[in-house]
Amino acid sequence: MRTDLYTGHDYFNMDDLLTEEHKLIRDAAREWVKKEVSPIIEDAAENQVFPQHLLSGLGAIGAFGTYIPEQYGGSGLDQISYGLIMQELERCDSGLRSTASVQTSLVMYPIWKYGSEEQKMKYLPKLATGEWIGCFGLTEPDHGSNPGGMVTSYVEDGDDVILNGAKMWISNAPFAEIAVVWAKNEEGRIHGIIVERGMEGFSTPTMKGKWSLRASDTGELIFDNVRVPKSNILPEKSGLGAPLGCLDSARYGIAWGAIGAALDCYDTALRYSKERIQFGKPIAGFQLQQKKLAEMITEITKAQLLTLRLGQLRNEGKATSPQISMAKRNNVDMAITIAREARQMLGAMGIMNEYPIMRHMMNLESVITYEGTHDIHLLITGMDITGENAFK
């Protein structure tokens, strides 16, 4: 294991646009990652397991419920703070960021925005500390890009509902205490419902065999006549717009996170290129290698500017879903391209787990697909600028 020497790259003095509080939050997250996660992340990825002892630390740095009000246990911070924490987590590993994204944007957000006061008081404080972990069940085996076609459904039975169906590819599912599940009622309308571990007929089998996001646990959610109290249904919003609202928050966090992965690949390649001698001089001195590095930092800088502006818009409540789609799509594509170039710059060493690049590259193959695929986000932009829907 190499020492984590990462220091950050800020070619356009972006720090001048951040507040002192933003920088403190980011630097605290960076230091925690370096001390607690960098030394163990390669083993976690090799062993295909999320290191659960990190959960309380993630809670302590504000990664769970960053922008959720303090009265519910959150940190009450702004959207840029949330983004900066996601950037620092994914700088280490996309799976680490995924765990935090799901908890904040896909579990705490819907309970905070669509839940009753009782639901907020019951779940949010424990989710904020990491005592409880949640997962988000939208995707089904036969419904990925088209979640509106879901077949998971429930029927009413007195004070309860009876839930049947299955969800697939669910991050955090194998160890989550609760699942925010999206299911259709008897009229076919989508509602969010909180399913708790231990409810009879509810199981969460682990999905093994991933070459990507190996340090994040992924599983299925199986509902076999699960009896859930009606009081667990999120009352304040229904329809497909409800889960899509959560995805806006998560995709925004991914846009920041992908910059982190790209920065780590760039940082590794830059450092290596100055140390690696071929033909009597550092490979950093060859034009072709400089072209790669110069293009990397240019693309990272463009993404940083785009994403900070998106954070400002989100703070003002003005960011649109298509704007978020554009940032998610651009930044993940940018990061995966940089990972591939950086891998080549390390030559054979680039494939080794002594360096983080292959792990980032493999992780980003999931990130480019989940929370809306690369293609679907392009079609969202296309629909926004033309008024024509090309994906239905």
Residues engaged in binding ligand FAD (CB under 6 A): 102, 135-139, 144-145, 169-171, 213, 218, 366, 369-371, 373, 375-376, 379, 391
**Phi/psi at 280 (5° precision):** 80, 5
Count of helices and strands (H, E) across the chain = 12, 9
* Closer CB to ligand FAD, 25 or 367, in the complex: 367
C-alpha torsion sign, points 288, 291, 296, 299: negative
| Position of minimal CB gap to ligand FAD | 144
Q: How far is the CB of 180 from ligand FAD (least distance, A)?
A: 10
Residue 194, token pair as written in the block: 């909180």
- The DSSP code sequence of 266-300 is HHHHHHHHHH-EETTEEGGGSHHHHHHHHHHHHHH
| Residues 110, 140 contacting (CB under 8 angstroms) | no
Q: How far is the CB of 150 from ligand FAD (least distance, A)?
A: 10
Q: How far is the CB of 365 from ligand FAD (least distance, A)?
A: 8
Q: How far is the CB of 52 from ligand FAD (least distance, A)?
A: 17
Report the 10 Å Cβ neighbour count for 138.
25
* Closer CB to ligand FAD, 37 or 133, in the complex: 133
* Closer CB to ligand FAD, 48 or 268, in the complex: 48
* Closer CB to ligand FAD, 357 or 367, in the complex: 367
* Closer CB to ligand FAD, 315 or 369, in the complex: 369
Q: How far is the CB of 177 from ligand FAD (least distance, A)?
A: 15
The verdict on whether 236 is a catalytic residue reads no
DSSP SS3 for 307: helix
Q: What are the Cα distances from residue 368, in Å, to 11, 147, 255, 318, 338?
A: 25, 17, 11, 25, 14
* Closer CB to ligand FAD, 130 or 137, in the complex: 137
DSSP SS3 for 143: strand
C-alpha 378/C-alpha 294 separation (Å) is: 26
- Annotated catalytic residue, options 140, 295, 371, 388: 371
C-alpha 364/C-alpha 175 separation (Å) is: 23
The burial of 35, by beta-carbon neighbours within 10 Å (0-12 exposed, 13-18 middle, 19 or more buried), is given as: exposed
Q: How far is the CB of 7 from ligand FAD (least distance, A)?
A: 30
C-alpha 177/C-alpha 80 separation (Å) is: 28
Q: How far is the CB of 390 from ligand FAD (least distance, A)?
A: 7
**Phi/psi at 72 (5° precision):** -105, 15
* Closer CB to ligand FAD, 213 or 357, in the complex: 213
Q: Could you report how far apart the first and last alpha carbons of the chain are, in Å?
A: 48
Helix axes 321-345, 241-275, angle to 10 degrees: 20
C-alpha 232/C-alpha 156 separation (Å) is: 13
Catalytic residues: 371
